[in-house]
Amino acid sequence: MTLNIKSLALRARRLSATRATAAHAQTQANGHPVQQLITERILSGSKPGARSSSDTSRLALVVEGGGMRGCISCAMVMTLHELGLLPAFDVAYGSSAGAINAAYCLTGQRGAIRIYYDHLTQGAAFLDLRALLPGASRPVMDIDYLVDDVMARREPLDWGGVLASPIPLRVVASCLDSLEPVVLSGFHDARELAAALKASASVPEVALGPRPFRERPRLTDAGVFEKVPLPSAIRDGCTHALVACSRPQPTQRRFLERRLSGVVEALAARLPVRTPNLRAALRRARAVGLRDEGLEEALHSCPHEVRDALGAYVLPMYPASTAGAHSLCLDPAVLRAACEAGRAAALRLLEPVAEAVAAGGRGPDGVEALGLGGVFGEGEGERGSEIGEGEAEGALVREGAAPVAA
């Protein structure tokens, strides 16, 4: 199926004012189809992998990365989990940092959010901007440190929990041989999962790469072809998608944020291209017509217009701002503020769902006990008020999680 994003954007602009207003009013009154599906499944007690025969929908959780800005989508998916809404989903897709966020979400490990502002900002073990200078001997971003040290020892991922999850994880990466996005899945063990996460997050010329995975020897960061892995989810047959975005809507991005993001991207772009076929991959990425701006513009249409054009109902969660966070941000205070922006965005869209579930008598303990204003709990951990009402603390790290050998 070809996803003609530009055509959809044009159709959205050509909607008559009367039709657009009526469609918007109907959606506001009845809720977005993605919200409706989540509500219906939670109220009925439906579980992933054991849906009723009458439920033919396939709901995807789609998670954008963005380097350190991925803390925003991390806060979003952790909010989703804390509200008890995760069982409504059938599959999770993640790009780059978004894949890591999705992995921690599937196991309910809230401590993942600490990775961004505690572990990765300490010293230069993960991110060293001096490596942007000519003659540097190390990569700017050390993905091996993130996966083999932080995710194995400091905030250990429950690797077995991800592998056994009834909601499978699909990790999106970019293939420098076929010049297209690829979906990595069906992991046999923790090593394979770790290899997939590394490949998806290996930013070209910034992190060491490309990376191998099974029969594919040269994979690199998902963002080359799919910053937001929505097209992969739709190609796989998903009928509904909730998208955790780490960037605001284009029209709401502040001038300074756009300028800062442009400066960071320009610095990375000026690095000498040492990876074979990378230039061809970047040219291909510009030519395929899946620019994020076109996709985001298309999603301003009413949900039924989006479904008619894309084949799926799509509900994006946009933060009001990034709070100044960018892909190479190392300021813990800025990253904490960005996490709060992500949490607030998720609550704006998911609060009505959680309220409907609670009103139906099936509110999960998390909703009833934590309340909708502070879904990460109050007073959990020693720094319970650092972000919102303590969402960074109270990590549910599983005991006995096997570390991944370097």
pLDDT for position 297: 54
How do 216-220 and 240-244 pair as beta strands?
Answer: unpaired
Q: Cα(337)–Cα(388) distance, rounded to whole angstroms?
A: 9
Parallel, antiparallel, or unpaired for β 180-184 and 211-213?
A: unpaired
The answer to whether residue 164 is domain-embedded is yes
d(CA 119, CA 71): 12
Mind telling me the catalytic residues?
A: 96, 221
First to last CA, the chain: 39
In this predicted structure, what is the pLDDT of residue 27? 46
The answer to whether residue 325 sits within a structural domain is: yes
Residue 289 belongs to a domain: yes
Q: What is the pLDDT of residues 105-135, one digit of tens each?
A: 999 998 899 999 999 999 999 988 888 787 7
CA angle 59–62–67, rounded 5-degree value: 170
- The enclosing H or E element of 76 equals helix 71-82
Residue the block writes with tokens 């799926």 = 312
In 3D, which of 116, 42, 52 has the Cα closest to residue 83?
Answer: 42
Q: Choose among 117, 110, 104, 79: nearest CA to 329.
A: 117
pLDDT value of position 364: 52
CA distance 10 to 301: 10
Counting DSSP H helices and E strands in the chain, the numbers are 16, 8
Q: For the chain, give percent helix, strand, coil, nearest 5.
A: 45, 10, 40
Please indicate, yes or no, if residue 21 is contained in any of the structural domains: no
The answer to whether the peptide bond before residue 210 is cis (omega within 30 degrees of 0) is: yes
249 domain-assigned: yes
pLDDT for the residue 254: 47
Contact 63, 99 (CB under 8 A): yes
Tens digits of residue pLDDT in 200-240: 998 876 777 788 899 888 898 888 888 899 999 999 999 99
Summarised one tens digit per residue, pLDDT across range 182-201 is 999 999 999 999 999 999 99
Within 8 A by CB and 6+ apart from 95, the residues are: 63, 64, 65, 172, 200, 222, 223, 226, 227, 228, 229
Q: Is the pTM of this model over 0.95?
A: no
Interior angle at CA 103, CA 98 and CA 106, nearest 5: 120
382 within domain boundaries? no
What are the residue ranges in the chain where pLDDT is below 70? 1-30, 205, 250-301, 362-406
Alpha-carbon distance of 297 to 11, in angstroms, equals 10
Are 174 and 222 in contact, with CB atoms under 8 Å apart?
yes
Q: Give residues with Cβ within 8 angstroms of 14, minimum separation 6.
A: none
* Cross-strand pairs, 216: 213
CATH, residue 111:
3.40.1090.10
Give the pLDDT score at 308: 76
Query: Which residues form the domain of 308?
Result: 32-45+56-360
Task: State how many domains the chain has.
Answer: 1
The answer as to whether 302 is a domain residue is yes
What is the pLDDT, as a whole number, of residue 165? Answer: 98
Residue 376 in any domain: the answer is: no
Query: In angstroms, what CA-CA distances link 295 with 31, 249, 255, 300?
Result: 21, 11, 21, 9
